[in-house]
Amino acid sequence: MTSTPRDDDALAVLPVPPEGVSIGAGVLWMLLTTFLFVCQDSLARILVADYPPAEVAFVRYFVHFLLVGGVLALRAPELLRSRKPGAQILRSAMLCANTVIGMYALKIMPFLDFSAVVWVAPVLVTALSVVLLGEKVSAAGWISVFVGLAGVWLIVGGAGIALTWLVVLPLLTALTNALYQIATRFLRTADEPATTLFYTAVAGSAFCLPFLPFVGLAPTPSAAGLMLLLGCLGAASHFCIIRAFAAAPANVVAPFGYTALVWASLSSVVVFAEVPTLRTILGSALIVAAGLAIFFGPRPRPAATTHERRAP
């Protein structure tokens, strides 16, 4: 649903800006990126109130496909081919699942609660990297993981949601986002980021298309316009994150991604008339603290080989 700024799937669609671009410009691009992320989620929540998530997701990805595919076809058609198409499809499936599940979660959760839980994804990446990537996480990293999960528990436990299977939707959203990020890291050396971004749009459209004959509804002109805007915002947010990471170092820019929770708070109050609870504020603070601790802490290390473990 919401891509976190630590994703690297879009960073080579455009050339690096010319010399002289300041760190301040990178921060401003990141602030605009997080604003667009929250705008996407807000539009999605409005649309899924009347239209099935599969239909909304299809339009979002199809517009993205047309825009990204058109740019690459004109500027670098060789980037339309992947060296690992199977892995690309698997990664795209995680992102598509993240989008659709996230839209269902938006239907049952307060807006800020949803936004905060989604941002626990970097914390889950740290935990999952041990199993899926064979990396070693420090004790401080594990403490951060548990702090982030405690923040999620505060939010979900106080959201007033009935104790049914629906309560797991926001957690599944964060989990699929984390798996998508891990797959992105795996593909980093296989394909150019622009290729990965293109496959994101292709697979998202392909996965949602078969459901349209069964669940699709004819949108009103205003709803069709909002769906089109949603797709444009998706492409625009990737453009902005490209500019942000090209203009300034990642360790400066990425932490500003958590300003998404500021935009989400404003949208929660202004658009949806939902006042954040104390539990939401405290849970969000724990999630942000955990994410920043992981970002600024030591990087996970590859697990030692047998030879390395036996070395004196």
pLDDT at residue 51 in the model: 94
Helix, strand or coil for residue 135?
strand
- Please give the single-letter amino acid code of residue 207: F
Q: Which residues contact 56 (CB under 8 A, 6 or more apart)?
A: 44, 47, 48, 103, 227, 230
The whole domain housing 163 covers 23-310
> What pLDDT sits at residue 298?
63
In a domain, 302, yes or no: yes
What is the mean pLDDT for each group of 10 consecutive residues in the chain (312 residues)? 47 42 78 90 93 92 90 88 86 86 85 81 72 71 79 67 59 80 74 80 86 90 94 83 73 78 89 86 84 70 43 36
* Alpha helices per DSSP H over 49-188: 53-75, 85-108, 111-118, 121-132, 139-157, 169-187
Any domain includes 10: no
Residue 255: inside a domain: yes
Residue 145 lies in a domain: yes
Kindly tell me the sign of the dihedral angle through the C-alpha atoms of 291, 296, 297, 302: positive
CA dist 1 and 73 (Å) reads 26
Determine the pLDDT at residue 35.
92
- Give the per-residue pLDDT at 10: 40
In a domain, 110, yes or no: yes
Q: Is the residue at 15 inside a domain?
A: no
Structure tokens at 258: 């958590």
CA distance 245 to 17: 10
Strand partners, 302: 135
Indicate whether 259 belongs to any domain.
yes
pLDDT at 226: 94
Q: How many domains does the chain have?
A: 1
Distance between CA atoms of residues 3 and 119, nearest Å? 9
**Cα(87)–Cα(153) distance, integer angstroms:** 32
Question: 277 to each of 62, 158, 284, how far by Cα in Å?
Answer: 37, 9, 11
- Considering the entire predicted model, what is its pTM? 0.77
DSSP reduced 3-state for 8: coil
Give the pLDDT of residue 5. 46
The CA distance from 226 to 197, in Å, is 23
pLDDT for position 167: 60
Q: Would residue 16 count as lying in a domain?
A: no
